[in-house]
Amino acid sequence: MTGNLPVVETFHSLQGEGAHVGRSAFFIRLAGCDVGCSWCDTKHSWNSRNHPQITLEQLAEETATAAKDGAAFVVLTGGEPLQHNIAPLCEALHRATETNHGGPLAIHLETSGVNQLSGVPTWITLSPKRHAPPRTDLLAACHELKVVVHETDDLNFAEDMAKAALEARKNDNASQSRLSNTSKEPLLFLQPGWKTTRGQQLAFEHVQSHPHWRLSMQTHKWLGIR
């Protein structure tokens, strides 16, 4: 499998966010994002020209090694990973780990949902942005919604996105047929903007009074790990 992608970093850590928090995961952070969230904690990833092109083969090898070292899944993140066609990468990762004891390593995707889905991720974490709303097919296919909270409007947006995800599922069975395990409803997470007291307070209070939501706290940052 030839080809390469701009890569900020790869690292073996624990998933610090969302439904799989605390699990051993290998991260591939692709470079490039033009969504422009003012509060992005990874702005250094935005310009793909600032990062090296890495071959799919090397990424697959690193992932296979991480799987042997205990990674339960690989996370494709960024930057905005779907700014690239990640299908060849998913194929390379699948092939490099298919002889693993537990079968091919699961592929998790972290995305804002503004670009077309490519590849066949096992798990899609959709983190929608108010200023750049997600595509309907991503709302239909995602396994979890993770909304970052800074102010009250983010809570209204989160509830709108939860409703939109249900609506999209009703009207768009095509994307569900592409992805196995697509639950009927996505798991719902609120994630405070990092180090924002207001965001923490708003997210805590909303989850406390709305039991279908859960709190995601970026535990890796509290632990001081990547």
Ligand X SMILES: Nc1nc2[nH]cc(C(=O)O)c2c(=O)[nH]1
35: contact with ligand SF4 by CB under 6 A: yes
**In this chain, which of 17, 62, 144, 154 binds ligand X, going by CB under 6 A?**
17
Nearest residue to 191 (alpha-carbon basis) of 139, 108, 126: 126
16: contact with ligand SF4 by CB under 6 A: no
Bridge partner residues of 76 (DSSP): 28, 109
DSSP tally for the chain: helices H, then strands E: 7, 9
Which x/- pattern, by CB under 6 A, does the window 18-57 give for ligand X? Answer: ------------------------x---------------
Q: Which helix (H) or strand (E) element contains residue 139?
A: helix 136-141
Pairing, β 123-126 against β 213-215? unpaired
**Residue 36 binding target from ligand SAM, ligand X, ligand SF4, none, CB below 5 to 8 Å by type:** ligand SF4
* 3-state SS, residue 174: helix
Q: Which helix (H) or strand (E) element contains residue 73?
A: strand 73-77
Q: Whose Cβ is closer to ligand SF4: residue 62's or residue 110's?
A: 110
36: contact with ligand SF4 by CB under 6 A: yes
Residues that bind ligand SAM (CB under 6 A): 33, 39-42, 77-78, 80, 110-112, 127, 146, 148, 191, 193-194, 218
